[in-house]
């Protein structure tokens, strides 16, 4: 109704605004008149012109003014009448709207009243239902209480019965004990005389045994206190080291500039190296001899899938310390022939290999074997296969595209459990000693780099496994070494003093440059101690020193951890033959062992997911070949000849 009233009001206002502009009858007096062609005009026939109207007279003007005045009066009267009608309509509309609003209010009041009545009824019904539910709940609770009371009464009755039974049983046992005691007293009285004679002898033996036990306990407590103190000191030094490394950013930048300078010097010296061609020819000759030996060995397949190392079963475990195990060789065992009378420490390096890993996971294989996979940020995977005893079977890289590069293999095709001890002739080296044992304190960066990339100092006709290299000192002597005399370890400590870290610049820069040129280089880091202390403590401490140097090279010079192998030898190889403490014997040595390692990557087969495929039985390989009766063939010899030719061409092209 309100909308209708507003529409009528708007229409009335628009009509009042339009009426004053209506045209008057006198506005249409202009017209066109045709000129008579016979009037003597000079215009041609058929043409027209607008005739001017003659001027009005005074009477006509007064008449027109009167007409206009009357028209205005009529218009004003019409407007007045329209306004009166509009006002009356507005008044009627307001009255109707008020009446409708009054009726709407009445209806709304009635609806609210009915809603209140319904809500009151619902509340009343809800209260009644709640009262009924509460009554039922009270009844259930009372019933449960009665049942619980009955259960407690039954339990108390059972306890009283059980207590009575225990008392009776105790009485019976006490009676039996008294009888046994009387019988034992009789026996003891008879044996007392015999015991008195034995006590005199046992007393003396017991005194001696207690004295030995006390002495052993004192020694063990002293060792434990010294080890705990050493561990706490190591932890404190590690924390201080981390804080100091964070604070000394300027020193780190200085170290980077020094490394860059050393690398430039290495590159200049490498370009000026005149013996590069001779070394390359010697390397090619050595590789040909090793390939010929490998062809002869591959005619028989002796490796068995999922077979653990036998020397682990022959060796006796002396002690376990955290992630290290110390073995003692047994007489007559294959491993004992190589390290008889000494200790061998085995260290699980999975934590060190996990450097800068994007992901790490372990797969369980057959017979307790495991596959540890470390995924680098660039997608390269470092795969470590371990046997049931935790020893490394092989370690290799899998690049994107499933290209496999073997780092080292401890169970190649030709491996046999009796091959751990090898018999090699002594090294014949006639060169200067400072080229065979390089000390960075007196040698330049050029000598350090030449040792890092050096070939064997004597002819070698075959390859060996990593385990053979670790346990045979005569085999390691084929490679020159670097004695880090710039790093001096305190007595009983494996921590590198922070002020000595920059002394690894020459070695770190040389190794970094060599690994950039050949990412598959493998270096052995040997830890040594002086002659003081027990053999077990020394072999563990030396291995910790080797790991400390490896971690420093990895953390500060970005040397991949899989390119480094650590091993501690304790006090077996003294640099200065003395039984007392000597700082020169507390050292770490580095050797390049890449030319000695067996790393045939063509023995590895991968599935579609990039995981190694193992043979399903003892006599058949992963390619289905019967290796029990395998005798090689012309195709294999031809493949090796092709590999030799390709390698010669690549070497000459690099030269």
Nearest to 503 by CA among 483, 519, 520: 483
| Mean pLDDT value across the chain | 78
Q: How far apart are the first and last CA of the chain?
A: 106
Q: How confident is the model at residue 633 (pLDDT cuts 50, 70, 90)?
A: very low
Mean pLDDT of the 72-83 span:
93
Residue 429 in contact with residue 437, Cβ under 8 Å? no
List pLDDT tens digits, range 242-296: 766 666 555 556 566 666 666 666 655 554 454 556 566 666 666 666 667 666 6
List pLDDT tens digits, range 99-135: 999 999 999 999 999 999 999 999 999 999 999 999 9
Nearest to 330 by CA among 318, 345, 340: 340
Q: 254-355+407-654 adopts what CATH topology?
A: 60s Ribosomal Protein L30; Chain: A; (3.30.1330)
pLDDT at 184: 85
Task: Look at 160-174, 244-258, 613-627 and tell me which has the smallest mean pLDDT.
Answer: 613-627
Residue 614 is classified by DSSP as P
Q: Is 525 exposed, middle or buried (0-12, 13-18, 19+ CB in 10 A)?
A: buried
pLDDT at 486: 87
Overall pTM > 0.75: no
pLDDT at 646: 47
List pLDDT tens digits, range 440-453: 888 878 888 888 88
Residue 267 in contact with residue 513, Cβ under 8 Å? yes
Task: Look at 9-13, 331-335, 361-365, 497-501 and tell me which has the smallest mean pLDDT.
Answer: 331-335
Q: How confident is the model at residue 238 (pLDDT cuts 50, 70, 90)?
A: confident
Q: Is 523 exposed, middle or buried (0-12, 13-18, 19+ CB in 10 A)?
A: buried
Residue 451 in contact with residue 480, Cβ under 8 Å? yes
Dihedral of CA atoms 225, 231, 234, 240 in degrees, nearest 10, equals: -100
pLDDT at 249: 56
pLDDT at 390: 85
List pLDDT tens digits, range 557-583: 889 999 999 999 998 888 888 888 888
Residue 398 in contact with residue 380, Cβ under 8 Å? yes
Q: What share of the chain in percent tops pLDDT 90?
A: 26
Residue 262 in contact with residue 600, Cβ under 8 Å? no
Phi, psi dihedral angles at 3 (to 5 degrees) = -65, -40
Residue-by-residue DSSP string for 520-572: T--EEEEE---S-S-HHHHHHHHHHHHHHHHHHHHHHH---GGGEEEEE-TTS
Mean pLDDT of the 615-629 span:
44
Could you tell me how many helices (H) and strands (E) the chain has, helices first? 14, 13
Mean pLDDT of the 217-229 span:
80
Q: Is 614 exposed, middle or buried (0-12, 13-18, 19+ CB in 10 A)?
A: middle
State the Cα–Cα distance between residues 544 and 490, nearest whole angstrom: 13
pLDDT at 317: 83
Cβ atoms within 10 A of the Cβ of 642, count?
10
Dihedral of CA atoms 459, 465, 469, 472 in degrees, nearest 10, equals: -90
In the predicted structure, residue 546 carries a pLDDT above the cut 60: yes
pLDDT at 229: 78
pLDDT at 203: 84
pLDDT at 201: 84
* 252 vs 370, more confident: 370
pLDDT at 639: 46
Provide the token pair at 44: 């041609």
Q: Is 591 exposed, middle or buried (0-12, 13-18, 19+ CB in 10 A)?
A: buried
Dihedral of CA atoms 96, 99, 100, 102 in degrees, nearest 10, equals: 160
Cβ atoms within 10 A of the Cβ of 494, count?
23
Q: How confident is the model at residue 628 (pLDDT cuts 50, 70, 90)?
A: very low
Q: What share of the chain is helix, strand, coil (3-state, %, to 5)?
A: 55, 10, 30
In the predicted structure, residue 591 carries a pLDDT above the cut 90: yes
In the predicted structure, residue 4 carries a pLDDT above the cut 60: yes
Nearest to 525 by CA among 615, 467, 587: 587
pLDDT at 275: 54
In the predicted structure, residue 544 carries a pLDDT above the cut 90: yes
pLDDT at 618: 40
Mean pLDDT of the 363-378 span:
88
Phi, psi dihedral angles at 598 (to 5 degrees) = -90, 120
Tell me if residue 361 falls in helix, strand or coil.
Answer: strand
Nearest to 15 by CA among 66, 77, 78: 78
Residue 364 in contact with residue 353, Cβ under 8 Å? no
pLDDT at 445: 80
Residue 571 in contact with residue 342, Cβ under 8 Å? no
Residue 286 in contact with residue 595, Cβ under 8 Å? yes
Mean pLDDT of the 356-384 span:
89
Domain ranges for the chain, please list them: 175-247, 254-355+407-654
């Amino acid at each position: 109704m309100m909308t209708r009233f507003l529409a009528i009001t708007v229409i009335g206002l628009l009509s009042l605004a339009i009426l004053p502009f209506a045209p008057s009858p006198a506005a249409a007096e202009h017209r066109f008149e045709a000129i008579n062609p016979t009037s003597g005009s000079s215009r041609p026939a058929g043409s027209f012109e607008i005739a001017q109207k003659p001027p009005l007279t005074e009477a006509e003007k007064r008449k027109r003014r009167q007409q206009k005045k009357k028209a205005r009066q009529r218009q004003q009267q019409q407007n007045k009448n329209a306004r009166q009608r509009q006002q009356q309509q507005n008044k009627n509309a307001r009255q109707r709207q008020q009446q409708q609003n009054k009726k709407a209010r009445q209806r709304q009041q009635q609806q609210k009243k009915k809603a209140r009545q319904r809500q009151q009824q619902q509340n009343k019904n809800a209260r009644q239902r709640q009262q009924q539910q509460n009554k039922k709940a009270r009844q259930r609770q009372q019933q449960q209480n009665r049942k619980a009371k009955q259960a407690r009464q039954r339990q108390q009755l059972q306890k009283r019965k059980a207590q009575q039974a225990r008392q009776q049983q105790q009485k019976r046992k006490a009676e039996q004990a008294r009888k046994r005691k009387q019988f034992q007293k009789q026996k003891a009285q008879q044996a007392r005389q015999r015991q008195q004679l034995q006590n005199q002898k046992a007393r003396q033996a017991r005194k001696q045994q207690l004295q030995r036990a006390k002495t052993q306990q004192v020694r063990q407590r002293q060792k434990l206190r010294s080890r705990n103190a050493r561990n706490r000191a190591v932890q404190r030094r590690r924390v201080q080291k981390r804080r100091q490394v964070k604070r000394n950013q300027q020193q780190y930048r200085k170290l980077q500039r020094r490394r860059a300078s050393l690398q430039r010097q290495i590159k200049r010296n490498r370009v000026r190296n005149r013996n590069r061609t001779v070394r390359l020819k010697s390397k090619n000759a050595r590789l040909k001899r090793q390939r010929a030996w490998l062809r002869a060995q591959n005619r028989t397949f002796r490796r068995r899938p999922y077979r653990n190392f036998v020397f682990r079963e022959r060796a006796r475990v002396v002690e376990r310390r955290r992630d290290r195990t110390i073995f003692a060789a047994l007489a007559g065992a294959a491993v004992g022939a190589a390290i008889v009378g000494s200790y061998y420490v085995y260290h699980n390096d999975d934590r060190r290999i996990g450097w800068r890993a994007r992901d790490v996971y372990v797969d369980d294989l057959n017979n307790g074997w495991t596959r540890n996979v470390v995924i680098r940020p660039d997608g390269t995977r470092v795969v470590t296969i371990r046997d049931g005893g935790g020893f490394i079977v092989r370690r290799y890289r899998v690049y994107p595209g499933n290209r496999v590069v073997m780092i080292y293999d401890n169970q190649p095709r030709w491996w046999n459990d009796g091959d751990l001890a090898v018999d090699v002739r002594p090294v014949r080296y006639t060169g200067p000693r400072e080229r065979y044992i390089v000390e960075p304190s007196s040698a330049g960066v050029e000598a350090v780099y030449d040792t890092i990339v050096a070939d064997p100092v004597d002819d070698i006709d075959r390859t060996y496994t990593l385990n053979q290299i670790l346990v045979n000192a005569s085999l390691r002597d084929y490679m020159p070494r670097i004695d880090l005399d710039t790093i001096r370890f305190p007595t009983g400590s494996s921590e590198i003093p922070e002020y000595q870290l920059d002394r690894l610049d020459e070695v770190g820069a040389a190794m970094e440059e060599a690994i950039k040129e050949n990412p598959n280089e493998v270096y052995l880091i040997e830890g040594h101690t002086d002659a003081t202390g027990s053999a077990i403590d020394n072999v563990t401490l030396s291995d910790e020193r080797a790991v400390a140097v490896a971690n420093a090279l990895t953390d500060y010079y970005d040397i991949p951890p899989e390119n480094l192998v650590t091993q501690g030898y304790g006090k077996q190889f003294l640099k200065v033959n003395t039984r007392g403490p000597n700082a020169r014997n507390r050292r770490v040595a580095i050797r390049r062992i890449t030319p000695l390692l067996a790393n045939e990557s063509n023995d590895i087969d991968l599935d579609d997911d990039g995981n190694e495929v193992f043979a399903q039985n003892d006599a058949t390989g992963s390619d289905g070949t019967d290796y029990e009766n395998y005798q090689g063939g012309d195709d294999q010899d031809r493949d090796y000849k092709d590999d030799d030719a390709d390698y010669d061409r690549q070497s000459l092209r690099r030269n």
